[in-house]
Structure 1
Amino acid sequence: MTNPIDALLAEKGVLLADGATGTNLFGMGLEAGEAPELWNETAPEKIATLHQKFVDAGADIILTNSFGGTRHRLKLHHAQDRVYELNKRAAEIARSVADKAGRKVIVAGSVGPTGELLVPLGALTYEEAVEAFAEQIRGLKDGGAEVAWIETMSAPDEARAAAQAAIEAGLPYTYTVSFDTAGRSMMGLAPKDIHGVSEGLSETPVAVGANCGVGASDILASLLDMTGAKPEATVIVKGNCGIPEFRGTEIHYSGTPELMADYVRLAVDSGAKIIGGCCGTSFAHLAAMREALDTHHKATRPTIETIVDRIGPLRNKTADESGAAEGEGGSRRERRRSRG
């Protein structure tokens, strides 16, 4: 498998991934409950604009509009028989933008959770999960995605199933977990254990890490655990833009461009090699993050106290504070997440 991420890391040292998909598409007219993936066919120009604005802001990696692109998610919109074509189109749109950037921009095929619980907590078998992810990833690969970007996972088995599907499709892969439950994933995975999820698979991940979750301070705390456990690993951090706040029926994120710029500096100092933004991260935020990345020289590894002083308080306990008993197994419910 060719590995575009390692090649670009060798050139640039640290890479900037893009920002929020959902938040920005809502700003372009996406309605609540509407599947963003359907816009790959009905409004491709808006998806191209999304990617173009992230490239213009300085992104080295853009994620395809395919987060909910498995048959299990698309069936909620009566589109479960269009998995391949919708994912292929998602990658083609991103590819068209990346190819005219005038510099190397990696197209990463976004692969989110199925929304189903795996056996024994639910009805979905590991083999069925692999099959569903493989169907999606084949479309992404044929549309021009260079890497399978598995993201916002909570169950280690589901992340592993997606990784297995990427290997079968012949794509290098990354995976990220959302550590949103007392410093752990909803299914109890601690950040320090992220590296073991793919153990025993025939191909190792290009990178692993965290995305979404709660706020920037919390994801930086998770980052310290991940890089502390395996300093040589290529670690991704793609945090939300501050803290989500309800204003009436709308969600707003508290992060400013200045806050997200400092989040980038702290992420570099904490050992991250790929840094981006998740929910709430606009094009203006990403531009500030690009400038911070270009002008910052790696400094002393921060402590939790340093992070809190500069970014704000943690919203959750850390994984060490929550302990295995509280985190193991997590909640028995599975939420339908949407990246961004």
Structure 2
Amino acid sequence: MTKYRSGLPQHHGGIFLTDGGLETTLIFHHGIELPHFAAFVLLDSADGRRQLKQYYESYLAVARDHGTGFVLDSPTWRASADWGAKLGYDAAALASVNRRSIEFLGELRSGWERPNMPCVISGAIGPRGDGYKAGDMDAAEAEAYHAAQIDSFVEAGADMVAAYTLNSIDEAIGVVRAAGARAIPVAISFTVETDGRLPKGVTLREAIEAVDHATQEAAEYFMINCAHPTHFDSALKSDEKWMRRIHGIRANASTRSHKELDESDTLDSGDAIDLGRRYASLRRSFSGIRILGGCCGTDHSHVAAICEACITPRALTA
């Protein structure tokens, strides 16, 4: 199944879309119960796979209609050992579901990929703990913890892995080292608070530079996710070297803080048109940002609005 592991097409220009808020879409729009916010459990039933297929295809259609590439992230943000144990999955069951997640995406790719629409299959990793609270693992512990999930992605033929909603430098270093030991490309996506900093006050610059220093710049690129652009746009500096390492944004629809979102029992879908304009502004300032998707509160309509705001004839061939 591996097609792009030795050369990711998102490095060669053009816009690549990805999906939006998988868990919030399934819970609030489709009424699906996801224990511990875990979408991977849907892979264990025919109806669950059908729901996931419909979800991904709504985004793939946007990419097809706009002539962009697509990064297919697996629904495995919670499919690691600690979260799996809470859901009744032992090591063997987790390995199986992680492998099957990549096989599932491979089936989607076979039906949707076109010459002008490369589809990259990415194994999605989440933080060991809460995405909104800083973890306390050191880098060696993080490398050992995330290795099993990465092993499953490698065995199943993923093109790359991507760790989302990370809030700890050490955990990011561990993920990068674990991926490097298995010769699979890896992307790191940090989340930030409303002040544009990681939960313990670390700046994005400090986090990216620290990970790059500790791993000899082994990560393919960095992203930002699970925060609204108003939370981090002022932290981005166009004339600084570290900014060239940020290639993607998966923002929240809502301007609310993580604490406010955690405490809310309703979905804040924000303003899709405004979100698209903010992405376009970021793209004008930082042309290296070409992987565009969403996070909490976003659905395919948000990603379509983002795409329409950002796409130009030049963007298709850049």
Out of 81, 93, 106, the position equivalent to 1:71 is 81
Q: Quote the sequence identity (%).
A: 19
Aligned partner letter, 1:143: A
Question: C-alpha separation between the residues in 2 aligned to 1:228 and 1:11?
Answer: 21
For residue 240 of structure 1, report the CA deviation from its aligned partner.
0.5
Aligned residue type for 2:159: E
Aligned to 1:112: 126
Choose the corresponding residue for 1:31, options 30, 33, 39.
Answer: 33
Conserved in 2, the CA contact under 8 Å of 1:91 and 1:109? yes
1:45 is aligned to 2:54:
no
Task: Report the count of equivalent residues.
Answer: 290
**2-structure distance, mates of 1:188, 1:48:** 39
SS at match of 2:33: coil
Classify the secondary structure of the residue corresponding to 1:230: helix
Q: For residues 273-297 of structure 1, what are the alpha-carbon distances to aligned partners after superposition, in whole Å with 9 as ceiling and x for unaligned?
A: 3222111111111112222222387
CA contact (8 A) 1:87 1:140 kept: yes
CA apart distance, 1:93: 1.3
Superposed CA offset, 1:96-147 (max 9, x none): 1122213311111111100179xxx85x554332122110011122233211
- CA distance in 1: counterparts of 2:290 and 2:19, whole angstroms: 14
Alignment of 1:229-308 (within 5 A): 229-244=241-256, 250-271=265-286, 272-295=289-312
Contact conserved, 1:130 with 1:161, CA < 8 A, in 2? Answer: yes
Structure 2 partner of 1:199: 213
Task: Evaluate the alpha carbon distance shift between residue 233 and residue 30 of structure 1 in structure 2; reply closer, same or farther with a 3 A threshold.
Answer: same
- Which of 176, 188, 191 is 2:201 aligned to? 188
Match for residue 86 of structure 1 among 81, 91, 97: 97
Q: Deviations over 1:234-291 (max 9, x none)?
A: 4322110132477x96332242221122022012013123222111111111112222
Is the contact made by 2:189 and 2:223 (CA closer than 8 Å) also made in structure 1? yes
Counterpart residue number, 1:18: 19
Rounded Cα–Cα distance in structure 2 between residues aligned with 1:80 and 1:188? 35
Query: Residue 330 of structure 1 aligns with which residue?
Result: none
1:100 alignment partner in structure 2? 111
Matched, 1:228 2:240: yes
1:179–1:219 Cα contact (<8 Å) kept: yes
* Contact preservation (8 Å) 1:47, 1:93: no
In structure 1, runs of 5+ residues without a counterpart are 299-340
Q: CA separation of 1:11/1:192 partners in 2, compared to 1, >3 Å: closer, same or farther?
A: closer
Deviates more, 1:161-170 or 1:137-146: 137-146
Amino acid at match of 2:77: F
The alpha-carbon deviation at position 203 of structure 1 amounts to 6.0
Output the aligned Cα RMSD: 2.8
Aligned to 1:169: 182
CA contact (8 A) 1:91 1:141 kept: no
How many angstroms apart in 2 are the aligned matches of 1:38 and 1:289?
A: 29
Aligned amino acid, residue 191 of structure 1: L
Verify: 1:57 aligned to 2:62, yes or no.
Answer: yes
Distance 2:77 2:247 in 1: 20
- The corresponding residue for 2:66 is none
Corresponding letter in the other structure for 1:201: T
Q: After superposition, give the CA deviation of every residue in 1:58-106 in whole Å (9 maximum; x if it has no partner).
A: 2621211000111011111121322211111111112211222133111
Q: TM-score, normalised by structure 1?
A: 0.76
Q: Is the 8 A contact 1:219 1:239 kept in 2?
A: no
The CA deviation at 1:205 is 1.1
2:18–2:70 Cα contact (<8 Å) kept: yes
Partner secondary structure for residue 35 of structure 2: coil
Q: 1:268 aligns to what SS in structure 2? A: helix
Distance 1:172 1:270 in 2: 26
TM-score (norm 2): 0.81
One-letter identity of the residue aligned with 2:118: K
C-alpha displacement of 1:163: 1.1
Question: Which amino acid counterpart does residue 41 of structure 2 have in structure 1?
Answer: L
Distance 1:283 1:133 in 2: 29
